[in-house]
Amino acid sequence: MTIELSQYFPTTFGVSHFKDEDYRQELIKHCYDLKTKIKSGGEDWLSNETYNTSDGQYNIVNDKKFETLNKWIVKSVEEYLIKTTMNITLNLVDGWLNIYNKNNYQELHRHNTYVMSCIFYLQAPNNFAQTMFYSPYSEMVINEAIYKNQKFDPSGRINFKAKEGDLVMFRSYVQHAVGLHKDNKDRITLAYNFKEAK
């Protein structure tokens, strides 16, 4: 397994790639099956037309069909912690799925009660909406010259260029959003959260 590290803001993000295409296709079918059985969460969201199983609707961490992927995600986070020299033990506590139809989006938010969060890109068609990450230091006045050689604009935002099978790992305090999904094919992501082990 190979984890690539990138520093933004400066906050270190980790990216890993899951290679089992057949299993990924099985999970896509399973997500659509769950959509027919589980009520969508996020009723109080601005983006409440985006189907998801958050807000306690369905925790994919406890779903046997996701077990192989979940174990791989835990190992990826463990490697991220080693590479970033974070001396902490984390437990995977919850996860949910998101299915974005054309013109769905996700407003700016953060996962405040957690330490680490991840997004897994299960299905990412050609014209899918990117995840936008915002600097936790955006309130600070920073000279624009600092940004000239960076991968984000002076507003303190980066657009994460994901591919299908990518996992992005980041600290839960980082605000993020999903732009308007413009493809006719659905965008499917899995969100995961970790807390410090007691």
pLDDT digits (tens, 9 = 90+) for 47-57: 999 999 999 99
| Tokens of residue 7, six digits | 């520093």
Per the structure, the count of domains in the chain is 1
Q: 96 in a domain, yes or no?
A: yes
pLDDT at 130: 93
Q: Is 31 contained in some domain?
A: yes
Structural domain for 141, as ranges: 13-196
With beta carbons less than 8 A apart as the criterion, state whether 3 and 16 touch. yes
Q: Which CATH number belongs to the domain containing residue 182 in this structure?
A: 2.60.120.620
Q: Does 6 reside within a domain? A: no
Does residue 3 form part of some domain?
no
Which pLDDT does position 159 carry in this prediction? 87
pLDDT in tens, the chain (198 residues): 788 887 666 678 999 999 999 999 999 999 999 999 999 998 888 999 999 999 999 999 999 999 999 999 999 999 999 999 999 999 999 999 999 999 999 999 999 899 999 999 999 998 899 999 988 765 444 444 444 444 545 567 888 889 999 999 999 999 999 999 999 999 999 999 999 998
Contacts of residue 105, defined as CB under 8 A and 6 or more positions apart, other chains included, come to 47, 50, 129, 177, 178, 179, 180, 181
Does residue 98 form part of some domain? yes
* pTM summary value: 0.88
The confidence score (pLDDT) of residue 23 equals: 98
Output the pLDDT for position 27. Answer: 98
Distance CA 196, CA 115 (A): 7
> Is 2 inside a domain boundary?
no
Read off φ and ψ for residue 170, nearest 5 degrees.
-155, 160
